[in-house]
């Protein structure tokens, strides 16, 4: 059995590596560092994908190229290497994919699987609907739980208006669902936004977090990692 598993893995690698070796490098588009940057401007490929009607069944098939990292249930990894995608707003998923494809959000690890040479615009719309319809897992990676009172205070004062009481985000405004997301993933992203390392960051959020010290970052993200949306959560096993 072990030999069969090894052979299957080897075959998959042989089939995948040539395609990735010849894949184009991720482009670079001006981001928040540019004085002309407009967050979420309704133009380009993103605008075209948002006009398409996604099909969840087609999305299930197209998602196969993604599930090696993000897992079949969309849960990603608890250590935050890969984000939890299940239950995320389709608008948010489409925006982030388009930003990676354009190079506004730098992600060389994801680009070989998300570039235009691998997945087309209709498939992105399909995958986004498929993931949005998934139930949100309960067992996401959580923080240490040592400063939750401080984290709740910061969330209520600085994050609640955009991301909601239970981390539900806002589909129409492209604000992501936070409920069920991994602590280490969110902490890395919020620090990148604060430090100017995420090119497609929302300037409104940059203003909010730019004065947070590391302890505040850890506290608020710890609190966020414990948010849940019972009506959209997976059934506990």
Binding residues for heme c: 66, 69-70, 110, 159, 162-163, 205
Handedness of CA 40, 44, 48, 54 (dihedral sign): negative
Which segments are annotated as binding site? 66, 69-70, 110, 159, 162-163, 205
| Whether the Cβ atoms of residue 30 and residue 36 lie closer than 8 Å to each other | yes
The candidate with the shortest Cα–Cα distance to 115, out of 125, 103, 127, 126, is 103
Determine phi and psi for 39, rounding to 5 degrees: -65, 130
| Rounded Cα distance, 213 and 215, in Å | 6
């Amino acid at each position: 059995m072990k030999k069969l598993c090894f052979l299957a893995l080897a075959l998959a690698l042989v089939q995948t590596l040539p395609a990735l070796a010849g894949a184009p490098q991720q482009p670079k588009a001006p981001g928040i560092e540019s004085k002309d940057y407009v967050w979420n401007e309704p133009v380009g490929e993103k605008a075209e994908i948002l006009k398409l009607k996604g099909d969840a069944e087609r999305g299930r098939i197209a998602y196969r190229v993604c599930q090696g990292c993000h897992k079949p249930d969309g849960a990603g990894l608890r250590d935050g290497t890969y984000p939890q995608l299940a239950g995320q707003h389709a608008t948010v998923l489409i925006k982030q994919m388009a930003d990676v494809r354009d190079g506004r959000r730098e992600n060389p690890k994801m680009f070989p699987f998300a570039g235009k040479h691998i997945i087309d615009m209709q498939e992105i719309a399909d995958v986004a609907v498929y993931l949005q319809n998934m139930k949100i897992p309960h067992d996401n990676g959580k923080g240490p739980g040592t400063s939750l009172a401080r984290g709740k205070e910061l969330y209520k004062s600085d994050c609640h208006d955009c991301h909601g009481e239970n981390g539900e985000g806002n589909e129409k405004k492209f604000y992501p669902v936070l409920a069920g997301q991994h602590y280490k993933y969110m902490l890395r992203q919020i620090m990148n936004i604060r430090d100017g390392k995420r090119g497609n960051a929302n300037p409104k959020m940059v203003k909010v977090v730019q004065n947070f010290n590391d302890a505040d970052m850890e506290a608020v993200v710890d609190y966020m990692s414990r948010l849940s949306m019972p009506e959209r959560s997976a059934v506990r096993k």
